């Protein structure tokens, strides 16, 4: 299945939705609306057997010139049988950035979605255990957002050293 | 991080579950090597439920990647998986060079390939040695570490640093290698086979080692695919994917080597796959080191991607201008305003970088796809139904590097 095939079939299947196909170097990708993301991903998984989720992450486009949306989330998928790759991207905006979880399609999405939630505050509906993963639970900010400063916002003051006699 | 234990632990108040007990494992425990914490729910000695708790080493590498330029970030990248640092550097610059559409010189490709394979051996030696150490085989660990020292010497001969060489640059390398480096690699190849035979003799049919690893932590092929496992862990379960063969990058097209696979999927299979991968790596190194092409290590300076050497900066106006252009923070590289995902086969699995570029020489977003992070999410699945004493065996076989896990 080449990029052209995927393009043809996806356009035929989802005729009413605007799909933005593009290609850069060897990356083939499509930008889809978040409302149909899960539908398109499960269609890709069943029809083209993209059975491995390689990467799932996000970016905050707050300061990027020419960006029309705040967040972009990408799903890089791989067909293990023939090694073909494809990237599905979607855009979200404040307030309340929210996406359906793809945990039911690929269990590998578990921690990747938790990391995106931890770093960007994007919530995934239907995720079995959406907690912060790298940062402590009391942490309130989302550090990979562009409005979060490089040197932090003084969170370390909230974490007093614990000494043995007090613990 | 579940600081409130009660949230993380499944319901134990019901009468049929009240015999379960909870054990906190780590973050400081000899078998976790670095800082991993597990909250285990146990039925006697059998693990019923395991919750990994990570983030102790989180230091915001990806945020730093948004503030350091392509050449500066390489020093951060090689601190991710610190037992195969040059692999990370190669992977990072592979992504940057794909973004900039740079074709490397043949000599650079060969040197990078040799380094990537040396790092694979380095990583697998530490992984297999430490796995054996956790299971009580201390001698094997020393044999592995002795050989690993030689690889550190080779890094030192090339770049001046043993542990974090920061050896690659956009479009080339920090500096060219010399005859000492070649001699050291030839000596290493000779030494490798005898040390490898010792290591195999100590472990392959060691009754304790085999009993504690065979049939433990079995990962089926379907689960490996569904849970995004890559690298030796996936190959030990029968997934025949290897980026070196699938999308040949660097000089891998020129060499004769095999992709090592197994169908068992247990800890012993992962150990054997790693051991055999070392033999394949030494085969690649043997072919490559005798055929390093001559010529420059960096691409042409006129392409405006590489930092010129000191001689041309001081002796020519073009070199001086080029040096100025790349080092002034308001100039630097001109990149296409695009996004790219590029990955290489690191010793641990697929190590990818997703770069969002805003046209400047600093990545707008530098996402790492860390294999350790994905593989540690497999752990609760692998350990359920096994005993506490199997935890070091499974942890050792999936080779978690906490610096890469937490970034």
Percent of chain A with pLDDT over 90: 22
Q: Does A144 touch chain B (CB under 8 A)?
A: yes
Tens digits of residue pLDDT in A6-29: 888 888 888 888 888 888 888 899
B51 vs B380: CA distance, rounded Å: 6
Distance from CA of A127 to the nearest CA of B (A): 15
Q: Does A67 touch chain B (CB under 8 A)?
A: no
Tens digits of residue pLDDT in A75-117: 999 998 888 899 999 999 888 888 999 998 898 898 999 999 9
ipTM greater than 0.85: yes
The average confidence (pLDDT) of chain B is 87
Specify the pTM. Answer: 0.91
Tens digits of residue pLDDT in B319-363: 898 888 888 888 888 888 889 999 999 999 899 999 999 888 889
Cβ atoms of B71 and B169 closer than 8 Å: yes
What is residue B113's predicted lDDT score, i.e. its pLDDT? 93
Do the Cβ atoms of B364 and A106 come within 8 Å?
A: no
For B55, which residue in chain A has the nearest alpha carbon? A134
B390 vs B394: CA distance, rounded Å: 6
Q: Does B373 touch chain A (CB under 8 A)?
A: yes
Tens digits of residue pLDDT in B142-156: 988 899 999 999 999
What is residue B153's predicted lDDT score, i.e. its pLDDT? 92
Q: Does A28 touch chain B (CB under 8 A)?
A: no
B280 vs B236: CA distance, rounded Å: 15
Q: Is B401 left (phi over 0), alpha (psi -120 to 50) or beta?
A: beta
Tens digits of residue pLDDT in B219-271: 999 989 999 999 999 999 989 888 888 888 888 988 999 999 999 889 999 99
Distance from CA of A35 to the nearest CA of B (A): 23
Do the Cβ atoms of A59 and B338 come within 8 Å?
A: no
What is residue A20's predicted lDDT score, i.e. its pLDDT? 87
| Mean pLDDT (whole number) for A138-153 | 87
Pairing mode, strands A52-60 and A71-78 = antiparallel
What is residue A1's predicted lDDT score, i.e. its pLDDT? 66
Cβ atoms of B133 and B334 closer than 8 Å: no
**Which contacts of A82-86 are long-range, i.e. CB under 8 A and separated by 24 or more positions?**
A82/A1, A83/B241, A83/B246, A83/B247, A84/A1, A84/A48, A84/A50, A85/A27, A85/A28, A85/A54, A86/A3, A86/A6, A86/A28, A86/A29, A86/A30, A86/A44, A86/A48, A86/A50
Q: Does A132 touch chain B (CB under 8 A)?
A: yes
What is residue B120's predicted lDDT score, i.e. its pLDDT? 92
- Helix (H, G, I), strand (E, B), or coil: what is residue A38? helix
What is residue A136's predicted lDDT score, i.e. its pLDDT? 83
Could you tell me which residues are beta bridge partners of residue B365?
A: B356
- Nearest CB among A51, A87, A110 relative to B341 is that of A87
| Mean pLDDT (whole number) for B33-37 | 79
pLDDT band, very low/low/confident/very high, at B123 (cuts 50, 70, 90):
very high
Distance from CA of A165 to the nearest CA of B (A): 19
Q: Residue B6 pLDDT > 70, yes or no?
A: no
B19 vs B42: CA distance, rounded Å: 9
Tens digits of residue pLDDT in B70-90: 988 999 998 888 888 999 999
Q: Does A124 touch chain B (CB under 8 A)?
A: no
Outline where DSSP puts E strands in B13-132: 21-25, 37-43, 46-53
Candidates A72, A80, A153, partner chain B, best to mutate (most B CBs within 10 A): A80
B321 vs B317: CA distance, rounded Å: 6
Quick one: three-class SS letters along A101-136? CCCCCCCCHHHHHHHHHHHHCCEEECCCCCCCCCCC
What is residue B280's predicted lDDT score, i.e. its pLDDT? 92
What is residue B15's predicted lDDT score, i.e. its pLDDT? 64
Exposure of A158 by Cβ count < 10 A (0-12 exposed, 13-18 middle, 19+ buried)? exposed
Tens digits of residue pLDDT in B174-195: 888 889 999 999 999 999 999 9
The CA R_g of chain A, rounded to the nearest whole Å, is: 19
Q: Residue B25 pLDDT > 90, yes or no?
A: no
Which DSSP string corresponds to B171-225? TEESS---HHHHHHHHHHHHHHHHHHHHHHHHHTT-HHHHHHHTTSS---HHHHH
Q: Chain B, 85-104: which have a CB under 8 Å from a chain A CB?
A: 98-99, 101
Our measurement of the distance from residue A24's CA atom to the centroid of its chain's CA atoms, rounded to an integer in Å, reads 19
- Nearest CB among A63, A106, A133 relative to B55 is that of A133
Q: Residue B5 pLDDT > 60, yes or no?
A: no
Q: Which two tokens stand for residue B256?
A: 């004769």
A127 vs B379: CA distance, rounded Å: 18
Do the Cβ atoms of A136 and B374 come within 8 Å?
A: no
């Amino acid at each position: 299945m080449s990029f052209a095939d995927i393009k043809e079939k996806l356009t035929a299947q989802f005729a009413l939705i605007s799909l933005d196909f593009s290609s850069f170097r060897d990356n083939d990708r499509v930008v889809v609306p978040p409302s149909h993301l899960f539908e398109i991903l499960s269609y890709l998984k069943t029809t083209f057997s993209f059975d491995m989720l390689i990467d799932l992450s996000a970016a905050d486009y707050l300061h990027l010139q020419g960006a029309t949306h705040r967040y972009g989330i990408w799903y890089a998928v791989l067909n293990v049988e023939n090694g073909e790759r494809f990237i599905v991207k979607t855009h979200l905006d404040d307030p309340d950035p929210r996406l359906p979880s793809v945990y039911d399609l690929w269990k590998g999405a578990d921690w990747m979605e938790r990391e995106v939630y931890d770093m960007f505050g994007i919530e995934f509906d239907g995720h079995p255990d959406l907690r912060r993963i790298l940062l402590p639970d009391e942490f309130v900010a989302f550090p990979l957002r562009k409005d979060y400063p490089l040197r932090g916002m003084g969170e370390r003051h909230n974490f007093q050293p614990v000494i043995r006699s007090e613990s | 991080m579940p600081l409130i234990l009660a949230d993380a632990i499944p319901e134990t108040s019901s009468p049929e579950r009240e015999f379960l007990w909870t054990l906190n494992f780590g973050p400081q425990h000899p078998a976790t090597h670095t800082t991993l914490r597990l909250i285990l729910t146990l039925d006697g000695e059998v693990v019923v439920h395991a919750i990994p708790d990570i983030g102790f080493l989180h230091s915001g590498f990806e945020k730093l990647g948004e503030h350091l330029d392509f050449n500066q970030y390489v020093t951060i990248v090689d601190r991710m998986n610190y037992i195969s640092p040059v692999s990370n550097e190669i992977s990072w610059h592979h992504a940057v060079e794909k973004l900039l559409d740079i074709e490397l010189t043949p000599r650079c490709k060969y040197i990078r390939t040799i380094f990537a394979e040396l790092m694979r051996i380095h990583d697998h030696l530490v992984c297999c040695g430490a796995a054996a150490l956790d299971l009580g085989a201390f001698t094997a660990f020393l044999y592995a570490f002795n050989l690993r020292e030689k690889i550190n010497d080779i890094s030192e001969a090339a770049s001046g640093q043993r542990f974090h060489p920061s050896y690659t640059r956009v479009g080339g390398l920090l500096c060219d290698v010399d005859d000492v480096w070649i001699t050291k690699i030839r000596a290493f190849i000779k030494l490798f086979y005898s040390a490898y035979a010792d290591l195999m003799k100590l472990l392959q049919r060691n009754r304790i080692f085999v009993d504690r690893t065979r049939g433990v932590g079995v990962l089926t092929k379907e689960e490996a695919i569904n849970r995004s496992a890559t690298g030796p862990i996936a190959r030990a379960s029968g997934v025949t994917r290897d980026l070196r063969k699938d999308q040949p990058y660097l000089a891998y097209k020129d060499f004769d080597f095999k992709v090592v696979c197994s169908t068992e999927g247990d800890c012993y299979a992962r150990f054997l796959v790693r051991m055999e991968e070392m033999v394949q790596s030494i085969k690649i190194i043997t072919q490559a080191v005798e055929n390093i092409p001559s010529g420059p290590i960096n691409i042409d300076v006129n392409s405006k991607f590489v930092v010129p050497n000191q001689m041309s900066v001081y002796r020519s106006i073009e070199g001086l201008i080029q040096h100025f252009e790349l080092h002034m923070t308001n100039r630097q590289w001109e990149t296409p305003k695009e996004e790219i995902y590029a990955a290489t086969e690191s010793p641990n699995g697929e190590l990818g970088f997703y770069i969002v570029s805003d046209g400047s020489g600093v990545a707008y977003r530098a996402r790492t796809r860390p294999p350790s992070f994905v593989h540690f999410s497999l752990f609760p699945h692998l350990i359920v139904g096994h005993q506490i004493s199997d935890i070091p065996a499974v942890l050792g076989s999936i080779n978690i590097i906490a610096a890469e896990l937490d970034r």
